[in-house]
Amino acid sequence: MATRHQHQEHTRSYYAASVNEKTDYPVLQGAKTTDVCVIGGGFTGVATALTLAERGYSVALIEANRIGWGASGRNGGQLINGISGLAKIRKKHGEGIADMLWDLKWRGNDIVHDRVARYDIACDLKNGFVEAAVKPRHMDELEEYAAELDAHNFAYEYTIWDREKTREMLGTDAYIGGFINYRDGHLHPLNLCIGEARAAHDLGVQIFEQSPVTKIAHGDRPKVHTASGYVEADSVVLAGNAYHFLEPKHLSNLTFPAGSYIIATEPLPDETVNQINPTDVAVCDLNEIMDYYRLSADKRMLYGGQCNYSGREPASIMASIVPRMLKVYPQLKNVKIEYEWGGMIGIVLNRIPALGRINKNVYYCQGYSGHGVNVTHIMGELVSDAIAGTMEKFDLFANMKHFRIPGSQWMGNQLIALGMLYYRMKDLV
């Protein structure tokens, strides 16, 4: 079955309006052969293709729309360490792998920094990420986090802020404290994705856009079909995340699409910038249903949140996000909102990214539960290792049990929405 999102241009976002380069890779025509065929041109697909090309593989990457068209070109741009569900893997395998998992959860940050430097990708990458506490229990969590960093002799700057310091650094009374670390940060995600695709292309990766994959024909050398051609490869990587409907027998009802939404204001005057975010850091609150925000390079407030687990679009993105922003920053009341957009994240019930193999040579990698800029780059490396025969880290994820909700995807989304009500209530208490 093909994707329902086909042959589209980028959504009207601040990112699409400020790209360094508009991509125009050809449509796949006729028959091609290659070592690896990657389906999906978001961070998972592009990072995997680039890693494989760096290691000498021949790669074809097929995207239904444009490079970075999905969540990767629309997200909050927060480059944050961690992998959802990692605690469960640690629990299963014990303390023996604790240090390896600690390194792994930061690995995506390192890959992004390396690539930005190596391929000279202009994507406004900056260090500094604040977790903002709304409730006393959040402060306890931050104390524990600081102790964990201490124990690992964390080599980057980090500090807990009290209420007063948080007010001074973020210009709001909304928080009772915060925690800043300078290994996480923020960036322009669409420019990163397009820049990585450019680097992959320069290394010989064949990229096809506007080419929705309709079918994977399995075999010793699977064939990946589109309406006008196919790619035959030793291995296939399926990286369509919340936007693909391929391999339903194995993957339907494993990952559920949930919407997340962002608004971008007009560029703010220096005076306001100096009041609300003088050191230009990314911010996430610690609620279960979180708000996240940062300034763009041209000093717009990019404010996101309002995850919608039912799969339905909100009637108005602005109407749902602006009140959230004004609660934190009433001083932005008269600021013009110039962009509003949303995208789909892939939710997995147990929150562990869904990695696996179908028939030994078709790999899939999806479901980062809203936390993907860092994680996609880690997973791209794990999948590339697996293709080369090193399965250790890939199998840590692939061997975790996932629950597939029986019935239709609509039904699954309703159940997830119901489950999230619990967390909404928790935020309110």
Q: Is 185 in the site for ligand FAD (CB under 6 A)?
A: no
Residues 245-264 that bind ligand FAD (CB under 6 A): 246, 260, 262
CA distance 418 to 420: 5
How deeply is 88 buried, as exposed, middle or buried, from its count of CB atoms within 10 A (0-12, 13-18, 19+)?
Answer: middle
Q: Is 283 in the site for ligand FAD (CB under 6 A)?
A: no
Amino acid identity for residue 300 in this structure: R
CB of 380 to ligand FAD, least distance (A): 9
Q: Choose, by CB under 6 A, the member of 222, 343, 353, 412 that binds ligand FAD.
A: 343
Choice between 188 and 244, CB closer to ligand FAD: 244
Residues 192-231 that bind ligand FAD (CB under 6 A): 212-213
Helix (H, G, I), strand (E, B), or coil: what is residue 323? Answer: helix
CA distance 93 to 83: 16
Q: Is 71 in the site for ligand FAD (CB under 6 A)?
A: yes
CB of 141 to ligand FAD, least distance (A): 19
CA distance 14 to 82: 26
Q: Which stretch binds ligand FAD (CB under 6 A): 35-43, 48-56, 97-105, 272-280?
A: 35-43
Q: Which residue has the tokens 């939404």?
A: 261
In the shown chain, the binding pattern of residues 289 to 318 toward ligand FAD, with x for contact by CB under 6 A and - for none, equals: ---x-----------x--------------
Q: What residues have CB less than 8 Å from 224, skipping those under 6 apart?
A: 37, 39, 62, 213, 215, 216, 217, 230, 231, 232, 233, 236
Choice between 139 and 211, CB closer to ligand FAD: 211
Q: Is the dihedral of CA 275, 279, 284, 285 positive or negative?
A: negative
Q: Is 129 in the site for ligand FAD (CB under 6 A)?
A: no
CA distance 106 to 95: 18
Q: Choose, by CB under 6 A, the member of 16, 23, 41, 382 that binds ligand FAD.
A: 41
Q: Which stretch binds ligand FAD (CB under 6 A): 117-125, 134-142, 242-250, 352-360?
A: 242-250
Whether the Cβ atoms of residue 239 and residue 59 lie closer than 8 Å to each other: no
Q: Is 268 in the site for ligand FAD (CB under 6 A)?
A: no
Number of residues that bind ligand FAD (CB under 6 A): 49
Q: Could you say which DSSP state residue 325 is in? A: H
CB of 320 to ligand FAD, least distance (A): 13
Q: Is 69 in the site for ligand FAD (CB under 6 A)?
A: yes
Q: What residues have CB less than 8 Å from 266, skipping those under 6 apart?
A: 300, 335, 336, 337, 338
Choice between 37 and 139, CB closer to ligand FAD: 37
CA distance 157 to 180: 8
Q: Choose, by CB under 6 A, the member of 74, 198, 300, 377 that binds ligand FAD.
A: 74
Q: Which residue has the tokens 């604790």?
A: 98
Q: Which residues pair with 31 in a beta bridge?
A: 230
Supply the DSSP string of 235-256, one letter for each residue: EEEE--GGG----HHHHTTTEE
Q: Which stretch binds ligand FAD (CB under 6 A): 133-141, 267-275, 364-372, 398-406?
A: 364-372
Q: Is 43 in the site for ligand FAD (CB under 6 A)?
A: yes
Q: Which stretch binds ligand FAD (CB under 6 A): 150-158, 295-303, 353-361, 365-373?
A: 365-373
CB of 189 to ligand FAD, least distance (A): 7
CA distance 383 to 192: 20
Interface positions with ligand FAD (CB under 6 A) = 2-3, 5, 39-45, 62-65, 69-72, 74-78, 80, 212-213, 239-244, 246, 260, 262, 292, 304, 342-345, 366, 368, 370-374, 376
